[in-house]
Chains A and B, each alone.
Chain A
């Protein structure tokens, strides 16, 4: 957080891109796909993302705008395939249940 604060103060050239969110300072000046380490200490890859932020240039209340930033993103270990597998299993169970429930009255 402290590094993010310092980074927030460091970047002064663009009013729109000067509040780096967590895990953005690691990817400053790097291209997409470059390896990095997240604040949580996980190995990740610099990925371009749209980040919401306030824009005070026109006064209060601040507008919410989206800015494209390079962020260090750690690959999610496993959950995606697992959730897909769980979905497939659930669908198969639902089909089986439907099949047997139809056959019972007969």
Chain B
């Protein structure tokens, strides 16, 4: 069966569902702004619910199942769609990004922000400002390497949401979404979710082969054990939001056509962006990590983190370019 035929086969039940829900969901599906708002609300609500009910499963399975597809989305919406791969100077970003996959220190990854400063079409003042920020970040990464790494682990989740936010002008409803996210974050940090996590036995999930202790060590090595636990919950929430932003919200907002498209059309668009070969490679990588996770979830997570180490710096480089060129991503 060809990919076209497979996607067409999946489109049939999808079309039936749309027809079934058309009286209620029709206007929502047709209006992109409303649709994305509700999708964002659903992403926030489901992320918060999963953080409260099964935080360890969220932390353990998120990267293994959604990690590779979200890296593809990163490359698609930050590089391929804006045509950055056609600007030769920007290929200089590649060596530092690749080095991050081989455990290079964070300041090496930050060097990927330098080519955009020189390649961007923007005013000298903006270039100077961004270059000064890059130099300051490199200084911080050299002087405080470990704290920088921990801060970056959290910040890169925020960058994804910020990139989605800046794709389109957002009205009051958009601000409401941000307020909701801020409120949820504050609630998690203040311990509002603690009793819920306890009620659902969420502090331990032996079958996930992950533990809170692991994630405290990896994302929040604080002296205060209570605050460290809550920071891990916050990380789980934001990590889920960041996957939602890359896999659902950004694709929906960045698509030329306002209406949702069938699976087959989505596949054709993806194929036009990357070509079949790279897509097969990415598909194999995604299946490979998921299968590895079934055998040894801990090792698979570390393997994925090594492969994905570049993408936070890629996002920062894209932000640098966008800021200098004073445009939307």
Contacts and interface: CB of A to CB of B under 8 A. Distances in A.
Same complex: yes
Interface of A: 1-2, 4-6, 8-13, 15-16, 18-19, 53-62
A58 B203 contact: yes
B302 interface: yes
Nearest to A17: B213
A6 B302 contact: yes
Contact of A9 (B204, B226, B228, B305): B305
Contacts of B209: 12-13
Interface residues of chain A: helix, strand, loop or mixed (majority)? loop
B103 A53 contact: no
A12 B191 contact: no
B214 interface: yes
Interface stretch (B66-74, B127-135, B291-299, B313-321): B291-299
Given A15-B211, A57-B203, A59-B203, A10 B298 contact: yes
A24 B230 CA distance: 27
30 contacts: A2-B146, A5-B149, A5-B217, A6-B302, A9-B217, A9-B302, A9-B305, A10-B298, A11-B298, A12-B214, A12-B297, A12-B301, A13-B209, A13-B298, A15-B204, A18-B214, A18-B217, A19-B213, A19-B216, A56-B211, A56-B212, A56-B229, A57-B204, A58-B203, A59-B194, A60-B191, A60-B225, A60-B229, A61-B226, A62-B226
Contacts of B191: 60
Interface residues of B, number: 32
A26 B329 CA distance: 45
A8 B216 CA distance: 10
Interface string B38-81: 00000000000000000000000000000000000000000000
B166 interface: no
Nearest to B296: A12
Contact of A1 (B146, B198, B213): B146
A59 B212 CA distance: 10
A86 B191 CA distance: 52
A84 B225 CA distance: 39
A41 B113 CA distance: 34
Interface of B: 103, 145-146, 149, 191, 194, 197-198, 203-204, 206, 209-214, 216-218, 225-226, 228-230, 296-299, 301-302, 305
Given A9-B305, A10-B298, 15 more contacts: A1-B146, A2-B146, A8-B218, A9-B214, A10-B299, A13-B209, A15-B204, A15-B211, A18-B214, A18-B217, A53-B213, A56-B211, A56-B225, A61-B226, A62-B226
A5 B218 contact: yes
A55 B216 CA distance: 11
B149 A19 contact: no
Contacts of B210: 12
Given A11-B298, A12-B299, A15-B204, A62 B229 contact: yes
B149 A60 contact: no
Nearest to A18: B214
B307 to A, nearest CB: 13
Contact of B302 (A10, A13, A54): A10
Nearest to B224: A61
B225 A18 contact: no
A18 B302 contact: no
Contact of A54 (B206, B216, B299): B216
